[in-house]
Amino acid sequence: MPSTRARLLIMNAALGPLDYRVPAGMTVEYGSIVVAPLGPRQIMGIVWEEASLPSSPVPESKLRPLLAVVDVPPITAELRRLIEWTAEYYIASLAGVARMVISSGGALRGPATMTEYRLSGGLPERMTPQRERAFGALEGEQATIRELAGLAGVSEAVLRGLVNQGVLEPVEVDVDRPYPRARHDHNAPDLNKFQAEVSARLVEAVEQEEFAPILLDGVTGSGKTETYFEAVARALKNDRQVLVLLPEIALTEAFLSRFEARFGAAPITWHSSLKSTERRRAWRAIASGEAQVVVGARSALFLPYANLGLIVVDEAHEISFKQEDGVRYNARDVAVMRGHFEKIPVVLASATPALESLHMADTGIYEKLVLPSRFGGATMPAIHLINLTEEQPGRGAWISAPLRQAMVERLERGEQSLLFLNRRGYAPLTLCRNCGFRFKCPNCSAWLVEHRLSKRLACHHCGHETAPPETCPECGEPDCLVACGPGVERIADEVAEILPDARVALVTSDTLNSPEKAAEFVAMAEGGAIDVIVGTQLVTKGFHFPELTLVGVIDADLGLEGGDLRAAERTYQQVAQVAGRAGRGAKAGEVLIQTRHPEAPVIAALEAGDRDAFYEAETEARRSAGAPPFGRWAAIIVSSEDDAEARMAANRIGDTRPNLDDVMILGPAPAPLALLRNRYRYRLLLNARRSAQLQKVIRQWLSQVDHPPGVRVGVDIDPYSF
């Protein structure tokens, strides 16, 4: 334990490690979060092992004293090792990774109560448009002024005005108030034979308190959740904390009610849109050990658990576990490493595991547990292809005759249909019939997507939005703009034409953008108030609607285009997952897949329901390409607001490339999104043999090249998209 001097990992990445004196009367440990002086400012740091944080020696007499220790438990050794590993593996700065741990807690210093505001019921002296807006938006909300301003889309000054008039009233929130306790024995179900076997092993793994990476491979509807809930129950019984990572916030509501039914209390949720008071409350409860179960998005992985006993990554194949900016990490892989450092089991649950995960299981590195059949006698759905080259829908239509017919029959029988198209909005491209002008994002190399419901043209990369004009901005012609191609909104319109009496629900991140809306949708779909669901990848997972007997895939070929390294795998997973929504109850399900390439191996495997055939073929393709899991990929992305500057920087890196036998280096070339958020992007790709020391090579290489301040160089280890 450091007694007289302490080395700090500083949260500002621009500053290296700094040494301080521990003043008499202050006790710090490795992992303590402390406040230190820096010039006239105060900074936060974590007391770190000197050996793992080299720094140039400073004489004792030059050291300034630490100012305070923040009153939260020290960051555990296990989490410190995880921070170091993550920075090392993903070629990120230690400070950047540590910041994900610390700043996620919000204002860690300060009093245990915080002030939130809510409408008091009174009216302002004078109604202005801004105030009216705030009134409409803040009904039923309670949060800090800053958060309310964000919710209402008005300035904080407007809201402070309302506070002064008593229209918004303060509420003191006790940040450290306890959470309701979950009970391991509250409402345990009877498991079937397969579930019982698998859960016995999971429970055993929790008892053993050793690192155990486990792939829970079970077909859709096999009851994976109930099965791993038994492991959760055992951890609860043993007073160990549990982390369940879920890919999508919109899904959590259904999950939370299931959890509450089983354990008698809701778990703590963790995601990016938490209010600051909730953030701080959860962070502290997790660090003190009071929190029992945390259900969260990938960022929940970096929370300071006091005594973690189990990690579950549900839908572990999902790409949203990959963080694409800041520290580019894959939460699935980091979860396994956290399990390794904490010496606990990590369960990766999926019906369509990533090829990498299956390979780890096949080579004995992960243990594999299998649930081979659906729970309660439900059968797997029948799958048929519709060849779009033969069954062409009419002009401006995307639903073929056989799919229409099947939907009509479902409606007549009072059953539900689901149509899947992984494209938000109404149409992916808008052009002028007269002059050929196309609406493009000013900040990105991407078309603007028409969102007819919100009457916007929007960029899905940077968020840029404009209202669709009446006339063409190029030639000035009126009524000449045409929507090209379908998005889910357009498919929903087509359904309304085919089935005018059907109750249609549109499910995308635009419509299901809050937990309340997600819960409302689930309740309506379960209660039979919806006949047809039209949705993006949001509908492919998690949902369990017993009356849903038909799934239609509008365009199975969509995912096969574009620069996705795992395009075939992704297509397989998405279609198999959405297919898995059909026939989960007593009635059998049917899946109709529209495609122009029925002969493509992945489509053929889907039709045959032959998962092994698909994985075998894909494995061979990866092996011969030296792709993961047989080789490794990395990307170096060089960007600047100035195109020439970015290109020159990328060329400088390219010119100093190391010449190695086990790493092949391609590029630089313009990145697939050559312009993104006003930055020009160039990219180098590295394909390495497994034996290569990829990270070391990249670090050494990049450290030799200097760039002007406007250039950013990012590294993506194990990238998902090219």
- Using CA atoms, how far apart are residues 675 and 642, in angstroms rounded to an integer? 10
332 binds, among Zn ion, ligand ADP, none (CB under 5 to 8 A by kind): none
Per the listing, tokens 């009457």 go with 455
Among residues 459, 506, 582, 665, the one that binds Zn ion under rule CB under 5 A = 459
191 binds, among ligand ADP, Zn ion, none (CB under 5 to 8 A by kind): ligand ADP
CB of residue 292 vs ligand ADP: minimum separation in angstroms?
21
- Using CA atoms, how far apart are residues 608 and 614, in angstroms rounded to an integer? 10
443 binds, among ligand ADP, Zn ion, none (CB under 5 to 8 A by kind): Zn ion
Which residue from 231, 254, 251, 227 is spatially nearest to 243, judged by alpha carbons? 231
- Using CA atoms, how far apart are residues 515 and 166, in angstroms rounded to an integer? 30
* Closer residue to Zn ion, CB minimum distance, 460 or 597: 460
* Closer residue to ligand ADP, CB minimum distance, 349 or 399: 349
441 binds, among Zn ion, ligand ADP, none (CB under 5 to 8 A by kind): Zn ion
CB of residue 321 vs ligand ADP: minimum separation in angstroms?
17
Q: What three-state secondary structure class fits 52?
A: coil
**What are the DSSP calls for 361-378, one per residue?**
HHTTSSEEEEE-S-GGGP
CB of residue 564 vs ligand ADP: minimum separation in angstroms?
25
> How many other CB atoms are found less than 10 A from the CB of residue 199?
22
DSSP state of 407: H
462 binds, among Zn ion, ligand ADP, none (CB under 5 to 8 A by kind): Zn ion
CB of residue 398 vs Zn ion: minimum separation in angstroms?
26
Report phi then psi at 192, rounded to 5: -80, 180
Which residue from 314, 387, 362 is spatially nearest to 612, judged by alpha carbons? 362
168-174 and 68-69 as β-strands: parallel, antiparallel, unpaired? unpaired
252 binds, among Zn ion, ligand ADP, none (CB under 5 to 8 A by kind): none
Bin 199: left if φ > 0, else alpha if -120 < ψ < 50, else beta. alpha
189 binds, among Zn ion, ligand ADP, none (CB under 5 to 8 A by kind): ligand ADP
Q: 410 is written with which tokens?
A: 């479902």
- Using CA atoms, how far apart are residues 657 and 663, in angstroms rounded to an integer? 10
* Closer residue to Zn ion, CB minimum distance, 442 or 527: 442
Answer whether 9's CB lies under 8 Å from 53's CB: yes
* Closer residue to ligand ADP, CB minimum distance, 527 or 562: 527
Number of residues that bind Zn ion (CB under 5 A): 7
Q: Is 275 in the site for Zn ion (CB under 5 A)?
A: no
Among residues 133, 183, 368, 461, the one that binds Zn ion under rule CB under 5 A = 461
CB of residue 370 vs ligand ADP: minimum separation in angstroms?
12
403-442: contacts with Zn ion (CB under 5 A): 441
Which residue from 75, 20, 70 is spatially nearest to 50, judged by alpha carbons? 20
Q: Helices 601-608 and 611-625: crossing angle, nearest 10°? A: 160
Among residues 276, 443, 445, 471, the one that binds Zn ion under rule CB under 5 A = 443
* Closer residue to ligand ADP, CB minimum distance, 173 or 182: 182
| Amino acid identity for residue 647 in this structure | R
* Closer residue to Zn ion, CB minimum distance, 671 or 686: 671
Alpha helices in 218-370 (DSSP H): 224-237, 249-263, 276-288, 331-342, 355-362
DSSP state of 610: -
β-pair partners for 383: 591
CB of residue 566 vs Zn ion: minimum separation in angstroms?
24
CB of residue 195 vs ligand ADP: minimum separation in angstroms?
6
* Closer residue to ligand ADP, CB minimum distance, 190 or 390: 190
CB of residue 190 vs ligand ADP: minimum separation in angstroms?
6
CA angle, 136 then 137 then 142, to 5°: 125
226 binds, among ligand ADP, Zn ion, none (CB under 5 to 8 A by kind): ligand ADP
CB of residue 465 vs Zn ion: minimum separation in angstroms?
10
Q: Helices 567-579 and 601-608: crossing angle, nearest 10°? A: 20
CB of residue 258 vs ligand ADP: minimum separation in angstroms?
7
CB of residue 464 vs Zn ion: minimum separation in angstroms?
5
41-48 and 33-38 as β-strands: parallel, antiparallel, unpaired? antiparallel
464 binds, among Zn ion, ligand ADP, none (CB under 5 to 8 A by kind): Zn ion
* Closer residue to ligand ADP, CB minimum distance, 225 or 537: 225
CB of residue 2 vs ligand ADP: minimum separation in angstroms?
47
5 binds, among ligand ADP, Zn ion, none (CB under 5 to 8 A by kind): none
Q: 235 is written with which tokens?
A: 């951890």
Q: Which residue number places its CB atom closest to ligand ADP? A: 223
* Closer residue to ligand ADP, CB minimum distance, 38 or 266: 266
Dihedral of CA 420/422/426/431: which sign? negative
470 binds, among Zn ion, ligand ADP, none (CB under 5 to 8 A by kind): none
In the complex, the residues that contact ligand ADP under the rule CB under 6 A are 189-192, 195, 218, 220-226, 375, 544
459 binds, among Zn ion, ligand ADP, none (CB under 5 to 8 A by kind): Zn ion
CB of residue 374 vs ligand ADP: minimum separation in angstroms?
7
Among residues 462, 505, 533, 646, the one that binds Zn ion under rule CB under 5 A = 462
- Using CA atoms, how far apart are residues 448 and 434, in angstroms rounded to an integer? 19
173 binds, among Zn ion, ligand ADP, none (CB under 5 to 8 A by kind): none
Answer whether 391's CB lies under 8 Å from 402's CB: yes
Stretch that binds Zn ion, among 58-66, 243-251, 340-348, 462-470 (CB under 5 A): 462-470
Q: 233 is written with which tokens?
A: 């129950």
424 binds, among Zn ion, ligand ADP, none (CB under 5 to 8 A by kind): none
* Closer residue to ligand ADP, CB minimum distance, 277 or 540: 540
Among residues 184, 234, 275, 464, the one that binds Zn ion under rule CB under 5 A = 464
Q: Counting Cβ atoms within 10 Å, is residue 703 exposed (0-12), middle (13-18) or buried (19+)?
A: exposed
Answer whether 7's CB lies under 8 Å from 50's CB: yes
CA dihedral 120, 121, 126, 131 (to 10 degrees): 70
* Closer residue to Zn ion, CB minimum distance, 647 or 677: 677
CA-based Rg of the chain, rounded to a whole angstrom? 27
CB of residue 431 vs Zn ion: minimum separation in angstroms?
18
* Closer residue to ligand ADP, CB minimum distance, 572 or 682: 572
What is the separation, in whole angstroms, between the first and last Cα of the chain? 46
* Closer residue to ligand ADP, CB minimum distance, 192 or 466: 192
* Closer residue to Zn ion, CB minimum distance, 22 or 444: 444
Question: What b/e string do you get for 56-66 counting C-beta neighbours within 10 Å, with b at 16 or more?
Answer: eeeeeeebeeb
CB of residue 720 vs ligand ADP: minimum separation in angstroms?
23
33-38 and 68-69 as β-strands: parallel, antiparallel, unpaired? antiparallel
CB of residue 166 vs ligand ADP: minimum separation in angstroms?
48
- Using CA atoms, how far apart are residues 661 and 626, in angstroms rounded to an integer? 14
* Closer residue to Zn ion, CB minimum distance, 271 or 461: 461
β-pair partners for 119: 168
- Using CA atoms, how far apart are residues 413 and 174, in angstroms rounded to an integer? 53
CB of residue 503 vs ligand ADP: minimum separation in angstroms?
23
* Closer residue to ligand ADP, CB minimum distance, 17 or 218: 218
- Using CA atoms, how far apart are residues 327 and 378, in angstroms rounded to an integer? 42
* Closer residue to ligand ADP, CB minimum distance, 195 or 511: 195
224 binds, among Zn ion, ligand ADP, none (CB under 5 to 8 A by kind): ligand ADP
Bin 688: left if φ > 0, else alpha if -120 < ψ < 50, else beta. beta
Task: Note the residues at the interface with Zn ion (CB under 5 A).
Answer: 441, 443-444, 459, 461-462, 464
